[in-house]
A = this chain, B = another copy of it.
Amino acid sequence: MANETGYNVAVVGATGAVGEQMLKTLEQKEFPIKNLQLLSSKRSAGKKISFKGNEYTVEEATPEAFEGVQLALFSAGGSVSKALAPEAVKRGAVVVDNTSAYRMDENVPLVVPEVNENALKEHNGIIANPNCSTIQMVVALEPIREKYGLKKVIVSTYQAVSGAGLAAVEEMKEQSRDVLDEKEINPEILPVGGDKKHYQIAFNAIPQIDKFQDNGYTFEEMKMINETKKIMHQNDLEVAATCVRLPVETGHSESVYIEVEKGSPDAEELKQLLSDGKGITLQDNPSEQEYPMAVDSVGLPDVFVGRIRRDLDRENAYHFWVVSDNLLKGAAYNSVQIAESLVKLNLLKG
């Protein structure tokens, strides 16, 4: 199972929804791996997972498991990252962390390669992968920011259940059947595992993702607000978010309003600009009913943008619709892209 060239890679949280997509992405992108270690909680240790035709046994993530690891991809929850990412770094690994544990740490770069790849050069062992809903939005915003500058962003999200994990997907599916069969339902996970109350997600829209802060915004909304400013290195960028969970399995959608700093391009100019943007696929032809949709995004790494149109009142304002697979570009794919950038920029230790 060992190659001569490549890196010693550990995937932490290998049995989760994102971990599964990480392995698929590493496979598809043919990331150079010398040794692969699949790590998880004690509970999932012992499971078998196949990678490039070989079977791997998942091991418990312990500090010692990171001996010799050069690249560790973490996606096993914030507390695991808090406990083990420093242990991995201590042993020489560079950590790409897909939890919220380090995202706003000023010593940790928060990176979407299409937007701020160079921030990787200042890493101190840990690099944070942004929140799923933030990533797809900043990819869509970046070409506009670069050319016209950004003043204000208001986003309302339409987020898929797989962002809350595999158990949440199962809850949604079973509950959907029960509602269709007019059976009683008993929500136990959504909107937020671990919060006090749980609500029906089937055939509903829940305006809560993650818990509430004292200011009336949810943590998910504050993530979008703070992470966008950090990734774009623009503290005075106005950002507001309303995050809503939908009965969609995979694929986050976003209704985005922006005001630009300078200029007032027409919608066609913005479409051209975005169609040339890194990581973006434009799907914008209203007369043919072409626009991005969650179900069409599943399994694809692109950020899909459409419905681009001018605000009818403000010269410098625009509306558009952004969709992406929340498990791929929103999580696993972006993490592996970061890993590729680390290789390209020669930032992994030999």
Using CB atoms and an 8 Å cutoff, list the residues of chain A in contact with chain B.
152, 154, 156, 158, 173, 176-177, 180, 191, 195-197, 199-200, 203-208, 212, 215-217, 225, 238-240, 242, 244, 246-249, 251, 253, 255, 257, 267, 286-289, 291-295, 306-314, 317, 319, 321
Closest chain B residue to A254 by CB distance? B156
Contacts of A240 in B (CB 8 A): 257, 311-313, 317, 319
Contacts of A176 in B (CB 8 A): 176, 180
Alpha-carbon separation in the docked complex, A238 to B312 (Å):
8
- Across the interface, do A288 and B196 meet the contact criterion of CB distance under 8 Å? yes
- Across the interface, do A249 and B307 meet the contact criterion of CB distance under 8 Å? no
8 further A-B pairs in the complex, CB-CB below 8 A; given A203-B249, A240-B257: A156-B242, A156-B255, A176-B180, A196-B289, A207-B306, A208-B289, A216-B308, A217-B312
- Across the interface, do B238 and A207 meet the contact criterion of CB distance under 8 Å? no
Alpha-carbon separation in the docked complex, A242 to B311 (Å):
11
Closest chain B residue to A197 by CB distance? B289
Alpha-carbon separation in the docked complex, A303 to B326 (Å):
32
Alpha-carbon separation in the docked complex, A178 to B257 (Å):
35
- Across the interface, do B289 and A200 meet the contact criterion of CB distance under 8 Å? no
Contacts of A225 in B (CB 8 A): 312
Given contacts A216-B267, A288-B196, contact A207 B307 (CB under 8 A): yes
- Across the interface, do A204 and B295 meet the contact criterion of CB distance under 8 Å? yes
Alpha-carbon separation in the docked complex, A314 to B237 (Å):
12
- Across the interface, do A206 and B154 meet the contact criterion of CB distance under 8 Å? no
- Across the interface, do A289 and B321 meet the contact criterion of CB distance under 8 Å? no
Tell me how far the C-beta of A173 lies from the nearest C-beta in chain B, rounded to whole angstroms: 6
Closest chain B residue to A151 by CB distance? B313
Tell me how far the C-beta of A244 lies from the nearest C-beta in chain B, rounded to whole angstroms: 7
Q: Which of B177, B238, B244, B246 contacts A180 (CB 8 A)?
A: B177
Closest chain B residue to A248 by CB distance? B203
